[in-house]
Chains A and B, each alone.
Chain A
Amino acid sequence: MKKIIVDNLKYRYPSAQELALKGISLEIEKGQFIGVIGPNGAGKSTLCQALVGLVPHFYHGAYGGSVVVGGLEVLKSEISALALKVGLVFQNPFTQVTGAKLTVYDEVAFGLENMGLDRAEMIERIDRALTLLDIYRYKDRNPFDLSGGQMQRLAIASIIAMKPQIIVLDEPTSQLDPQGSEEVFRAVDKLKSEGMTLVMVEHKIEKIAEYADKVALLSGGELVDFDRPIRVFSRPDLERFGVAAPVYTRICRDLKIKDEKTGLYPITLEGAVAAVGSLE
């Protein structure tokens, strides 16, 4: 079942001369984890914003093509309606806290209050989201008192509680320390195991290689490739697009160790260990 259909999406920001997205087309199935990679200025964040409707409704600008998310055509739907289908988590955990609520519990309730849910359902959803993201024990703390990783998990919990079908994460770990990043990736792993459809922009390539079902490689506003991680990371021209292959791939390439079954270089630690093991 298709959850996201992007068809020939073109977009230019109001003050820009060049297109930020130049005819992107891709389809994402329910429950898939899609990693989005590419150099700065490739259009990754713009694509994320197009999936949640911020492009064009918030940023305006020139828009062409179509994006259908969870059955809703983005161009014809309001952001508030799209928010029920697709949630967005972005880089800065600090600015995702509303600032209007004094506790973590109330912070998660903010979106649910906007949805007009009754109290009993709110409590059930908040408890579940906080438990899933492993921050229930902080429920009475002020959101601004949390660490970066905890705050980012709070941002994800706030989105999860709204029960969207899809979650878009735009570099959610870029401003976090290694521990905070690990906390977020563990949370994302849980969401994946729950069958959530996830789209994640991330520069930590090893993590994308580990978690993603498919990888979208963007460069200069164009979709260069959209395939299984092992296929994308095995491209000989990958570095030409400003993306380094996972460290395990590079080591195996230097040592000329390929996976026996696929004939491609491994992209994960487990894959590399297995490939080395098969040599013996």
Chain B
Amino acid sequence: METLSLYVDRDSPVHRVDPISKLLYILAATAIPIILPSLLTAAVVLAISVALLLLGRTFRRVIPLISVIVFVLLTILIIQGLFRAGNVTPLFQLGSLIFYREGLLYAVRISLRVINIMLAFAILILTTKPSDLFETLVRKGLSPRIGYVLSSVLQIIPQMQNTVGTITDAQRSRGMETEGSLAVRLRAFIPLIGPVVMSSLTQTRERSIALEVRGFSAKGKKSFLNEEIQEPYHRFIRWGLLLSIILALVWRVAA
């Protein structure tokens, strides 16, 4: 079954780390390079994220994600390198365009922060089953309704895509042009909206009934089929990450 999940099923030490620790890692990888805005800090966090992705055997899956933001980061490099206020030290020249050291360094810092945030999220998404993540969040107090919406959307959207495919096939079989120029495809899209929206509304209503008859709105405390895995090292990782954020803050204040 196709889902929207990017989870890569592997048996690795990173996969075995609990979702809360990974969420804390996102917080640390985002906050520390901002608290300590040196290139070295950002580079160290980047190296740790890359190491974790390699350890989780998921690094290859990140490359397409990075390539998506490369264009944006290149734009930042060019604009900041050329036009940032406070640019004084020319670094190199391309024709009549002069790139400045201050602007480029600033752009590199921004780019590293963006890549760090992205890689930290990639560690969570690629090495954590969505169901485990949402279940953990519900255990920690997230509303079961929100937990349900988050976990079901990953499976139900591909199902809706299948519905769109079925309706498109039905319309095509009755002679409707659905392929060709943009104008043709746009014309084909409009009659598709009605049946897709109506069938989705009907299915949503039926599914909400199915949830009701399975006690989803019961007010008592919910339980979980899967046991919460609490390894001693999970606590060590969490405290280590929190401590590193606190140390970064202390360093910043003291410096």
Contacts and interface: CB of A to CB of B under 8 A. Distances in A.
Partners in one complex: yes
Contacts of B3: 102
A111 interface: yes
Interface stretch (A2-10, A77-85, A179-187, A216-224): A77-85
A112 interface: yes
Contact of B131 (A54, A95, A101, A122): A101
Given A80-B218, A90-B206, A98-B214, A113 B151 contact: no
A87 B152 contact: no
Contact of A96 (B148, B156, B210): B210
A87 to B, nearest CB: 6
Contact of B213 (A83, A106, A115, A144): A83
B84 interface: no
Interface residues of B, number: 32
B218 A106 contact: no
A79 B1 contact: no
A117 to B, nearest CB: 6
A105 B226 CA distance: 11
A113 B223 contact: yes
Contacts, number: 114
B1 A113 contact: no
Contact of B211 (A90, A98, A144): A98
A190 interface: no
Given A80-B219, A106-B131, A117-B223, A159 B213 contact: yes
Interface string B1-18: 101000000000000000
B207 interface: yes
Contact of B222 (A102, A113, A123, A159): A113
B1 A145 contact: yes
Contacts of B219: 80
B151 A92 contact: no
A142 B215 contact: no
B216 A114 contact: yes
Interface in A46-60: 52, 54, 58
B227 interface: yes
B225 A99 contact: no
A162 B223 CA distance: 14
A95 B211 contact: no
A116 B209 contact: no
Contact of B152 (A52, A100, A113): A100
B225 A113 contact: yes
B1 A111 contact: no
Interface string A232-260: 00000000000000000000000000000
Interface in B125-183: 129, 131, 148, 151-152, 155-156, 159
A13 interface: no
Contacts of B156: 99
A121 to B, nearest CB: 9
B203 interface: yes
Nearest to B157: A99
B206 to A, nearest CB: 4
A73 B117 CA distance: 55
Contact of B223 (A90, A99, A119): A119
Most buried by B among A58, A98, A106, A117: A98
Most buried by A among B203, B209, B222: B209
A54 B217 CA distance: 13
Nearest to A168: B213
Contacts of A138: none
Contacts of A115: 215, 218, 220, 223
A136 interface: no
Interface in A158-176: 158-159, 162
Nearest to A114: B215
A52 B213 contact: yes
B224 interface: yes
A142 B5 CA distance: 14
Contacts of B226: 106
A78 B213 CA distance: 10
18 contacts: A78-B217, A79-B212, A80-B216, A80-B217, A83-B214, A90-B209, A94-B203, A95-B207, A98-B211, A99-B155, A99-B207, A100-B131, A100-B148, A102-B129, A105-B225, A114-B215, A119-B223, A162-B214
Given A98-B214, A114-B215, 10 more contacts: A54-B213, A58-B212, A99-B159, A99-B207, A111-B214, A114-B218, A126-B225, A144-B1, A159-B214, A162-B215
